[in-house]
Copies of this chain bind each other. A is one copy, B any other.
């Protein structure tokens, strides 16, 4: 996510929450009243979003001083201090909920990602996200996946080709679909095809694609696909497993030897991590 976009998202969020004014804080807390806000983990998690939180406080009041005690990607335990913010209590209170909303969601994604990554430790495989992200916040969510140790799939419809069943049906065959796209896209873009059978997998391989996504295949067929790749000596082609991957089966999927496992749940089942802000006067 570029900084211009991050600033825009944060400023929109401030307008959303504060609107015509914080009628509680502005009328109760006096000016020039300083304090320290302590950002504390209330449960174990991979912390993510500290840079965003820092920017939230800065946009609300550029006089606030934010100090990171942890870095994005660090594991925090219940009670650990992730950061402190010092300055006007008014400003800290206005920014609190927004900063936490970013932190909790981003940490939620990073923490879940970390679990998947740990589950496949030792295997030469990467856990990746999908396009099933919250509309307008994809960059933040894909950043959280990276913080959690995962990798990103393509960012959108623009940076890589992913040929799915409807494209294939419309073109007539996998080969024809690949053919149509090959001569048009930037030579710097890869082509991935989603297949549902071994036969299709072979056809994709022969069409010269870069990545083959095995959609909802059995573990046996995954293994078989990996074997075919080896037999054909196509070590430049990557195999991606997709569909129905959970924490329970991800290791078995990794065992099949696939290169990439994509997990929609990383971003479409967001469990906010409990992180709070304690104010010291």
Contact = CB atoms under 8 A, between A and B. Distances in A.
A21 B33 contact: no
Contacts of A169: 281
Interface of A is mostly: mixed
A136 B138 contact: no
A187 B211 CA distance: 8
B181 A23 contact: yes
A44 interface: no
B160 A189 contact: yes
Contacts of A187: 126, 128, 151, 153, 190, 211, 238, 240, 259-260
A97 B270 CA distance: 18
Interface in A8-46: 9-25, 27-30, 33
A59 interface: yes
Interface residues of A, number: 95
Interface stretch (A77-85, A98-106, A219-227, A247-255): A98-106
Contacts of A19: 2, 19, 155-159
A170 B28 contact: yes
Contact of A25 (B105, B146, B167): B167
A24 B128 contact: no
A207 B210 CA distance: 17
Interface in A133-184: 133-139, 142, 146, 151-164, 166-167, 169-171, 177, 180-181, 184
Residue among A93, A159, A180, A260 with the most chain B CB within 10 A?
A159
Given A133-B101, A136-B137, A188-B160, A2 B21 contact: yes
28 contacts: A3-B14, A4-B15, A13-B135, A17-B135, A19-B19, A20-B139, A21-B158, A22-B158, A23-B185, A25-B157, A25-B167, A27-B180, A28-B171, A97-B131, A101-B131, A101-B132, A101-B268, A128-B187, A134-B137, A152-B186, A153-B186, A154-B188, A159-B188, A160-B186, A160-B189, A170-B281, A187-B259, A268-B272
Interface of A: 1-5, 9-25, 27-30, 33, 59-60, 89, 93-94, 97-98, 101-102, 104-105, 126, 128, 131-139, 142, 146, 151-164, 166-167, 169-171, 177, 180-181, 184-190, 192, 210-211, 236, 238, 240, 259-260, 268-272, 279, 281
